[in-house]
Chains A and B, each alone.
Chain A
């Protein structure tokens, strides 16, 4: 079983739609959780960290369910500029943050 699993998509949605991505992780001792965004042929960049209480940043909401080992990202009012691949990232327990990436979920927002 992969350490971090994501639905590869693609998710094709119209502008203004709400879309949700899910991610599961296998290591119950995982410490930190993130969503990164990667544009085509570019390096990944941090979108947001995911906290146990859930957190929101504008149109983006991230949720963590430790019991189910499940992370989600909700994007409201999708924009054309949201088109990208969204990477779920987990760090295992330990003294440093070894980032384990999911394969990513591709989002395409169309007019």
Chain B
């Protein structure tokens, strides 16, 4: 069966520090991968999506970046965090064959920038 792992679960980082959040998927090949952010009391905002290794599309301009160095690995990074980067970060995957349109989410990383 397929599983998605996201870590760490919680993170407190000072302003100006770097960030690296990792997400890995098991049990499937060539998934579509997504990074979302949810600010407190708000909906999910799509940050990045990827349909293959090295293929990253950005939805919003910001100081975050994403990379997909391997088929089932998706990394969210920042060189210098801002206070406004605080939020709940969620990685998700879906089957790229179109046979199953459900998206599965990792358990999320709750980031607080102080």
Contact = CB atoms under 8 A, between A and B. Distances in A.
A91 B49 CA distance: 13
Contacts of B43: 87, 101-104
B17 to A, nearest CB: 24
A59 interface: no
Interface of B: 32, 34, 36, 42-46, 49, 51, 88, 90, 92, 94, 96, 101-103, 105-108, 110
A96 B32 contact: yes
A97 B108 contact: no
Interface stretch (A38-46, A60-68, A72-80): A38-46
Contacts of A99: 34, 46, 92, 103
Q: Chain B: interface secondary structure? A: strand
Interface of A: 32, 34, 41-46, 49, 87, 91, 95-104
B44 A87 contact: yes
Nearest to B106: A43
A18 B41 CA distance: 25
A98 B49 contact: yes
B105 A44 contact: yes
A43 B96 contact: no
